Structure 1
Amino acid sequence: MDEDLLRTLTPRVLTVLVRRGADFAAAEDAVQEALVEAVRVWPSERPRDPEGWLVTVAWRRFLDATRAESSRRRREERRDREPATGPTTSRDDSLQLYFLCAHPSLTPSSAVALTLRAVGGLTTRQIAAAYLVPETTMAQRINRAKRTVAGVRFDTPGDVATVLRVLYLVFNEGYSGDVDLAAEAIRLTRRLSLAVEHPEVRGLLALMLLHHARHAARTAPDGSLVPLAEQDRSRWDTGAIAEAVAILQAALARDRLGEFQAQAAIAALHADATSTEATDWVQVVEWYDELLRLTDTPVVRLNRAVALGEADGPRAGLAALAEVDAATPRHAAVAAFLHERDGDLAGAARLYAEAALAAGNLAEREHLIRRAARLNARLRD
């Protein structure tokens, strides 16, 4: 059974049913039933037109589900109107499905779950495993999302920026269970880039590829985090980096700069350097200045403080950090790093320990604790 084919066909088949007038929630249920039937039948009898087969079976499942609520005459009329199989969808239809799953009425977590289910073709079990929640919990989340968008017109213009933020949320979840969500986000963003001409879509794709290219070097064999300065750059995926840079350059040439393009430009500068010391930190700071003009957030200012500390020295970084809200995530960790660079080992050790208490995951917490312990050991010597 070709699971990749089924995942590719899922959003296209769903789009066809919705275009024919099926309610989104009912259409999604019918498509899932058709996929189950495909898993049962295809190994012994593979159809010549897999997409047409899925459309036919899903449409019939939809009709079966609505038959009990319709009169006999209406049922027969709808059967007579059942379209023949054949060319069934278009790139624009697939794009609308992205917009629907990222509808502003959905919470970010619901939009992510619905996107993975309807656009990505993942099962509820796979999504639940990736997010480390019970399957029943994820099923409830997806069902609520489906009900929320049930009354939304399918031809309502969507917001590309909202879709990109949902895809970026998927990417940042990384890897868990049997689904690599970072790779899944890249796959979906690639598909989106084929459906819409937008430099920010290309910028996000380049950013994802650049970050994912460093994936193998980010953790040690024991699972501990390896910071950028200590990573073995020979383990970076140079092919992915080259592809990302080409995509980014084409996007920047459109002269419609957006925040994902600016972030990708910063990531490209890191990828281009042979070491942390060889990084063009002045240009990194300049790109952060561009990013601040596009989206002035505490997180951007926090990262800019790190870059400024590398470009102009730790005290310049600390001065910039003083203007960032102390409640910003990783604020204490950045302060610890800059104090360590400035020679204040006692202050840095205290701040690393403080940052460890607020760490978002176990690997980060253990990394910060080790940094604090290393500095305390140096102070005792």
Structure 2
Amino acid sequence: MKNKKSVSKKTRAASLESALGPLWKYYADTEVREIFINSFDKASAERKGKLEALPPLFSSRAAVTALVKNLAALPGSVSRRPGGAAGKVLELRLADLTKVTCAEGAAYQAVIISKMPAGLPGWAELVRHGCLPEEGKKLFEKILGEMKSVLVAGSNCSGKTTLMDILANGLPAGRRVVAIQGDSGLALRHPAALCLDASSDEEFVELLRSADKFLPDYLVVDSLDGIGAPEVVRAMRNGLAVIASCHAESALDALKRLEYMYLSSRTSFGLDEIRSLLASGIGYISFQERAADGKRRVTELSRLDGYEDGRYLLTPLLKYNYETGAFELTPAGKAALA
């Protein structure tokens, strides 16, 4: 008798191959991470961190529209429109956690397919590929054990979601994890994880406001970009340990962006009050970048020790030295591991 899981997996693969059509060749290539369609006659793929042009794959706009419809119709596919039912942007997450972002208007048509890496990475893979040193791994493990909130910041495509996955999946099995996500591709395999997928920005905020009712030990939020900042900070202030991510150009820039998001929510708090709230809620900030060679690294890990005299008290624990090409553990980092 054939294994049902094996048959189901083969059936899903066949359906995906049929839905992708001319893209399947590139999707099945393990060295390709992302596929970009800028118009029906212009496409490219990222292979090993480098972008390469693809030959014409579609004959018309209608063919690209059919591709999106076929992907949305796949079993296990989840879709959402961030701008509401009439929005021009459609986000899909396929059964294998591949993320598909589509936009179509009178003068444009674009599709981005971001594959989930085969075999979910862990700490060992990050260390082996030079994304993080062994000391950095130990620091993160110590932070998780302290039940402190962590803000994972970084530039676009720098590997924030991968680090979020590793942090959340590395929590003790006895901890309850609640993940609230919109368009991200978190691949949580923690035995006590509850994943709540929001189908709109409004639902995302509503779930954040009710997060404590799901009784989490850790709340995982990916990602804070324009919405949800006040709700996440409130959760931190209420004693929840939070792992959240946001786009930023440095650890300090991440805090500045959260300030702006908070102010944009029409809060009654002043800037100094918001900064105090952030400093009392966030325990640590990691920052990562994607280098010109395509490699993604955690280039800074800092502890947020408070807010005084108009400035955040950020204490670096780990830094990446671009001149030497090596990670450096600071005195504070060494003391934290002692």
Normalising by structure 1, report the TM-score: 0.27
The structure showing larger relative contact order (alpha-carbon pairs under 8 Å, at least 6 residues apart) is: 2
Normalising by structure 2, report the TM-score: 0.29
Report which of the two has the higher share of helix.
1
Report which of the two has the higher share of strand.
2
| Larger-Rg structure | 1
